[in-house]
């Protein structure tokens, strides 16, 4: 049966490309994906598969019940875009100014829609139930996965599978882990409040820029000198803003950055160490501070049995030449909430496009569309393997 399904997925490849390119031209950012959600709902309406809209926000879940007994499995695809100007020179370039699909979510959506169309044709032979879970707002915390889980929409589900088309991994390669697969992703904001004044008279001020600059260096020592070298963590400062004039010492300086971790104990240690360093720097500089640490998506932790099912499915697909277990990626993903709630696995489907070396979230990002049928086959292969375990 799987051979016939795989063949049908291949036949739908031109339709996948057409849908992906349409979605690429009309992207919507997180929590504003009204038209995209409508497009998805209309697809299921035409296909005759029951669906629910406004799940946890703009989410859409379609339910295909097979005619044979079995368990219920959700297959997830996200559909939000990013506030980035599309700089690619392609016919399907974004038509929405300042918004683009720079992470492949258009491809995830097209993949899942084609898979739904395929499985509708095989409904009579299908064991169990597939929940086609179209999730909004993966790119912006608090994300769409958490409210979908909290809504009770997957309470009845036995497992969840998902993939990310990964543009820096070669086509035909799957990457997965049996345990932690992606890092937890947090955000922090530090505001140093000093005393501004004339640049010619620094002794009459409490220079927030000097204090904040010292902190930029000191905070890097948390990972290099305070954390066990066998643990994994990243602290990156992405924004430093203070003052507007060349001859004025600013009243305040603001630092914004991210912390990535795969161990919640390390996350707690980083928070504590940052607080101590900020407090010490401000005591030394006679300043005050505001420290806001925002816990973001938790680490994506795969369940071993479900990860093995994905690997086994991948090995049976002709277009896949390598299935590799990899170390955790320090990128974040709110798929984490699904595998906290249910057994499941998340994996990368290689989608590197020849001649395009731009990474995810880049204005010239693109991926090899031939990865979409590979992703669809792996997901449905894992589905059938789960039904048999």
Residues 32 and 118 reside in one and the same domain: yes
How far, in Å, are 41, 97, 101 from residue 132 at the CA level? 11, 30, 21
Q: Is the pLDDT of residue 301 over 90?
A: yes
The helix/strand/coil state of 336 is helix
pLDDT of residue 384: 98
Sign of torsion over alpha carbons 34, 359, 311, 303 = negative
Annotated binding-site residues for Mn(2+) read: 103, 105, 139, 164, 361
Catalytic residue of the set 138, 207, 333, 334: 138
Residues 154 and 203 reside in one and the same domain: no
Confidence of residue 41 (pLDDT cuts 50, 70, 90): very high
In the annotation, is 312 catalytic?
no
Residues 360 and 228 reside in one and the same domain: no
The residue out of 297, 325, 352 marking a domain boundary is 297
In the annotation, is 286 catalytic?
no
Q: Provide the number of structural domains found in the chain.
A: 2
pLDDT of residue 239: 97
The residue out of 252, 273, 297 marking a domain boundary is 297
Let me know if 316 is exposed, middle or buried by CB neighbors in 10 A (0-12, 13-18, 19+): middle
Sign of torsion over alpha carbons 9, 61, 37, 300 = negative
Residues 9 and 142 reside in one and the same domain: yes
End-to-end CA distance of the chain: 17
Q: pTM here?
A: 0.95
Q: Is the pLDDT of residue 344 over 90?
A: yes
Confidence of residue 267 (pLDDT cuts 50, 70, 90): very high
Q: Provide the CATH number for the domain around residue 204.
A: 3.30.70.360
The percentage of residues in the chain with a pLDDT greater than 90, rounded to a whole number, is 99
The helix/strand/coil state of 330 is coil
Q: Provide the CATH number for the domain around residue 84.
A: 3.40.630.10
Residues 92 and 199 reside in one and the same domain: no
pLDDT of residue 389: 84
pLDDT of residue 164: 98
Catalytic residue of the set 33, 80, 333, 366: 80
pLDDT of residue 185: 97
pLDDT of residue 39: 98
Query: 102-141, pLDDT tens digit by residue?
Result: 999 999 999 999 999 999 999 999 999 999 999 999 999 9
| Domain hosting residue 268, numbered range | 184-297
Sign of torsion over alpha carbons 366, 107, 348, 188 = positive
Average pLDDT, the chain: 97
Sign of torsion over alpha carbons 319, 323, 329, 334 = positive
Q: Determine how β-strand 59-65 pairs with β-strand 51-55.
A: antiparallel
Annotated binding-site residues read: 103, 105, 139, 164, 361
The percentage of residues in the chain with a pLDDT greater than 70, rounded to a whole number, is 100
């Amino acid at each position: 049966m799987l051979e016939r399904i795989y063949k049908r997925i291949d036949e739908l490849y031109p339709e996948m490309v057409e849908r992906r390119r349409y979605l690429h031209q009309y992207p919507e950012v997180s929590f504003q994906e009204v038209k995209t959600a409508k497009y998805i709902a209309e697809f299921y309406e035409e296909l005759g598969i029951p669906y629910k809209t406004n799940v946890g926000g703009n989410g859409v879940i379609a339910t295909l019940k097979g005619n044979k007994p079995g368990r219920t499995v959700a297959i997830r695809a996200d559909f939000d875009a990013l506030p980035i100007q599309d700089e690619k020179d392609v016919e399907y370039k974004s038509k929405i100014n300042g918004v683009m699909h720079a992470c492949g979510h258009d491809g995830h959506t097209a993949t899942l829609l084609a898979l739904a169309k395929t499985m509708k044709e095989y409904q009579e032979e299908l064991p169990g139930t597939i929940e086609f879970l179209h999730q909004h707002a993966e790119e912006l915390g608090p994300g769409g996965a958490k409210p979908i889980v909290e809504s009770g929409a997957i309470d009845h589900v036995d497992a969840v599978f998902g993939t990310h088309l990964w543009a820096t991994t070669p086509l035909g390669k799957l990457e997965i882990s049996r345990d932690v697969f992606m890092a937890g992703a947090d955000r922090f904001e530090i505001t140093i409040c000093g005393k501004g004044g004339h640049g010619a008279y620094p002794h009459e001020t409490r220079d927030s820029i000097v204090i904040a600059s010292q902190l930029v260096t000191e905070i890097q020592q948390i990972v290099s000198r305070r954390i066990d070298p066998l643990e994994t963590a990243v602290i990156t400062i992405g924004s430093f803003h203070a003052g507007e004039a060349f001859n004025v010492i600013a009243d305040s300086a603001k630092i914004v950055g991210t912390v990535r971790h795969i161990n919640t104990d390390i996350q707690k240690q980083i928070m504590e160490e940052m607080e101590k360093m900020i407090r010490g720097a401000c005591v030394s500089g006679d300043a005050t501070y505001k420290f806001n640490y925002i816990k973001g998506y938790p680490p994506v932790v795969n369940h071993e049995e479900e990860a093995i099912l994905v690997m086994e499915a991948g090995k049976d697909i002709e277009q896949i030449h390598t299935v590799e277990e990899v170390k955790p990626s320090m990128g974040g993903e709110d798929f984490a909430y699904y595998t906290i709630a249910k057994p499941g696995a998340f994996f990368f489907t290689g989608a590197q496009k020849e001649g395009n070396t731009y990474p995810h979230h880049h204005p010239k990002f693109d991926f090899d569309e031939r990865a979409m049928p590979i992703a669809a086959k792996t997901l449905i292969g894992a589905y059938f393997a789960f039904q048999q375990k």
